[in-house]
Amino acid sequence: MRNAFRLTLVLAALVGLFAADLAIAQDLHPSRRPSPMGMARVTLDDGAAYVKVTYSRPYKRGRDNIFGTEDSGALVPFGKLWRTGANEASEITTTGDLTFGGEALPAGTYSLFTTPGAEEWTVHVNSAVGGNGTSGYDAANDVVALKVTPGATEEEVDQFTISFDEQEDGSTHLVLAWIDTEVRVPVAAAE
């Protein structure tokens, strides 16, 4: 009887440990991350290309210094490569060849990085995918690295957002927006 009681106690303890591990693992599910997953998508030129961006969406969370100098303690320092979101590197997929900011971008899946600056950002479309953050980034794998001028958002954007803005003239822009900063890259199906 005593051995059966001990066995029951040991089994109960093991079940408790496994349940705790399971609860912790569930908290890591992408839908419960502090920076949840997001997706932006657009179909260009009547189906010539379907473009999708998957990324993680950090919140401001009371931080007042998002983009700025490293000396100022900015979350995303000027001149430093950024994963363009949080968690894993952001990815862009296109089913057709594109003109991305005036540069040729063949159909495929790529990592999307940026290097913010006060007057100019560099948008990197990189052939290496599956990285965590900026680990494994190599500029030699950039398929496109283009310079863009940042602008101001119309209103504060609390959660980092990537979207596609389709204009009345038929043009489309990939838009990166967070707090009061906006970066726009024209995208079009290649002709």
Residue 64: its pLDDT value, please? 80
Same domain, 21 and 39: no
Same domain, 113 and 173: yes
Same domain, 47 and 133: yes
- Residue 52: pLDDT over 50: yes
> For a pLDDT cut of 90, what percent of the chain falls above it?
70
Same domain, 25 and 46: no
DSSP collapsed to 3 states, the chain: CHHHHHHHHHHHHHHHHHHHHHHHHHHCCHHHCCCCEEEEEEEEHHHCEEEEEEEECCECCCCCCCEECCCCCCCEECCCCECCCCCECEEEEECCCEEECCEEECCEEEEEEEECCCCCEEEEEECCCCCECCCCCCHHHEEEEEEECCEEEEEEEEEEEEEEEECCCCCEEEEEEEEEEEEEEEEEECC
Same domain, 143 and 80: yes
Q: What is the mean pLDDT of the chain?
A: 88
Residue 151's domain spans which residues? 33-189
Same domain, 76 and 5: no
Same domain, 76 and 14: no
Same domain, 139 and 157: yes
Which has more confidence, 87 or 23? 87
Same domain, 23 and 39: no
Residue 16: its pLDDT value, please? 57
Q: What are phi and psi of 182, to 5 degrees?
A: -135, 135
> For a pLDDT cut of 70, what percent of the chain falls above it?
83
- How many separate domains does the chain show? 2
Residue 44: its pLDDT value, please? 96
- Residue 65: pLDDT over 90: no
DSSP β-bridge partners for residue 181: 152, 178
pLDDT band at 131 (very low <50, low <70, confident <90, very high): confident
Same domain, 94 and 158: yes
Same domain, 39 and 110: yes
- Residue 25: pLDDT over 50: no
Same domain, 28 and 113: no
- Residue 125: pLDDT over 80: yes
pLDDT band at 21 (very low <50, low <70, confident <90, very high): low
- Residue 22: pLDDT over 50: no
Residue 91: its pLDDT value, please? 97
pTM: 0.81
pLDDT tens-digit series, residues 145-180: 999 999 999 999 999 999 999 988 889 999 999 999
pLDDT tens-digit series, residues 66-112: 999 999 999 999 999 999 999 999 999 999 999 999 999 999 999 99
